[in-house]
């Protein structure tokens, strides 16, 4: 194993405390810190020490795919590390968004050749399923809830202009597409007045509170009302949400470990000043009710849990070692990235041992032996999902 040094992205919605606390730095940080990236994504690659210099993991994987990825992963994913591990820290809502499936991504990327960058929906030909595990209490929107519940939430505001949306939702899941299209296609000039009427409505309850909170940040964004069509979730540490292709979601607040397929393909649906391509979003969205968006950890051995997902780009395990379980051995093949999330752990893949404090990470090549993790702390282990 070798130490892995990940960059921190300073998006405006980021926290000035969560990542600093995780890494034992001064709080507050000098600016917002939104995401710690631990992977070989060209947008912000992590780095490894080589002869006194910190070399991009992208370069190492490109030059030595057999060593870093192994033959199976290299062949399956075209010589690239198929996953990106992050720590995400949100102090303000992120945009409503969805991601394409693999076929949609390939077709979309190929079909936009020659378009100016600002008009492109796809930055690569890959899908982007995601899994997020809460490190702190975490608030999110994820997946369409029962349309009957959404209809009642919107009807309660007593805003006549929303009657067509309420009617569509009362038709059940078949009306979800119409409801989303109507809201996102609302005339720009009428959006501030619509949201002002919603905010001013004498309504109490979680839906009204959420609408007012989002409208404070986005007073002319119809995504405020689209948000009320989704499950509003509050995760406790250790709970996860799974975001497959076509699932509309947004993170609102909290800190979590996120693992995803290594792609930048995002189709936005509101709560953002950035471009929203309504037609392409509607083409990608799956208009179906998500019955159970929250996933509990599944024990797989003493001190080890995972959150199974139906993709082979990635898998995520949580390891907790200490007095009760002083040593865990994980026979996980392929490239492995380990993040210490609490305490201190020592990780050994047979090629070398690394001791990690909270917020530190390490990487091992595909040629290493089963991981041996010891110490007194908590670690997340990211690998490909190939077995």
Query: Could you give the CA distance from residue 354 to residue 1 in angstroms, rounded to a whole number?
Result: 6
Q: Which residues contact 271 (CB under 8 A, 6 or more apart)?
A: 93, 94, 95, 96, 214, 217, 218, 221, 223, 224, 227, 250
Task: List the catalytic residue out of 47, 191, 268, 336.
Answer: 268
Contact at 8 Å (CB) between 271 and 94?
A: yes
Is position 268 annotated as part of the catalytic site?
yes
Angle subtended by helix axes 147-155 and 163-170, to nearest 10:
160
CA 157 – CA 159 distance, rounded (Å)? 6
Helix (H, G, I), strand (E, B) or coil at 297: coil
Task: List 50's β-bridge partners, or say none.
Answer: 53
User: Residues of 240-251 as b/e, b for ≥16 C-beta within 10 angstroms?
Assistant: bbbbbbbbbbbb
DSSP 278: H
SS3 89: strand
**Cα 45 from chain centre:** 17
Q: Is the dihedral of CA 170, 290, 257, 280 positive or negative?
A: negative
DSSP per-residue letters across 96-152: EEE---HHHHHHHHHHTTT--GGG-S-SSS----EEEEESS-EEEEEEE--HHHHHH
Question: What are the catalytic residues?
Answer: 268
């Amino acid at each position: 194993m070798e130490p892995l040094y990940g960059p921190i992205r300073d998006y405006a919605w980021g926290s000035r405390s969560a990542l600093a606390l995780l890494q034992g730095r001064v709080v507050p940080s000098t600016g917002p810190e939104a995401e710690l990236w631990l992977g070989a994504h060209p947008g912000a690659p992590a780095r490894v020490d080589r002869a006194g210099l910190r070399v991009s993991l992208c370069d190492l994987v490109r030059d030595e795919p057999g060593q870093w990825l192994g033959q199976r992963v290299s062949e399956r994913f075209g010589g690239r590390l198929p996953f990106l591990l992050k720590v995400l820290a949100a102090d303000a809502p992120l945009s409503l968004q969805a991601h394409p499936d693999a076929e949609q991504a390939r077709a979309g990327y190929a079909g936009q050749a020659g378009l100016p960058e600002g008009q492109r929906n796809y930055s690569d030909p890959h899908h982007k399923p995601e899994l997020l595990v809460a490190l702190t209490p975490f608030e999110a929107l994820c997946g369409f809830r029962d349309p009957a519940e959404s209809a009642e939430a919107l009807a309660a505001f007593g805003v006549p202009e929303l009657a067509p949306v309420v009617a569509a939702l009362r038709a059940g899941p078949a009306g979800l597409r119409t409801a989303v299209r109507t809201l996102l296609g609302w005339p720009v000039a009428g959006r501030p007045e619509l949201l002002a009427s919603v905010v001013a409505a004498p309504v109490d309850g979680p839906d009204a509170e959420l609408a007012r909170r989002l409208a404070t940040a986005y007073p002319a964004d119809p995504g405020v009302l689209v948000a009320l069509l989704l499950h509003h979730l509050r995760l406790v540490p250790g709970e996860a949400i799974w975001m497959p292709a076509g699932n509309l979601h947004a993170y609102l607040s909290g800190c979590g470990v996120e693992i995803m397929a290594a792609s930048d393909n995002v189709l936005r649906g509101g709560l953002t000043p950035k471009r929203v391509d309504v037609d392409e979003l509607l083409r990608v969205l799956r208009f179906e009710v998500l019955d159970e968006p929250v996933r509990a950890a599944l024990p797989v051995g003493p001190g080890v849990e995972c959150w199974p997902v139906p993709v082979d780009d990635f898998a995520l395990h949580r390891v907790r070692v200490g007095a009760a379980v002083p040593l865990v051995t994980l026979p996980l093949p392929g490239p492995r990235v380990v993040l210490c999330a609490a305490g201190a752990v020592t990780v050994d893949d047979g090629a070398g041992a690394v001791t990690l404090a909270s917020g530190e990470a390490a990487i091992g090549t595909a040629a290493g032996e089963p991981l041996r993790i010891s110490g007194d702390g908590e670690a997340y282990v990211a690998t490909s999902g190939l077995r």
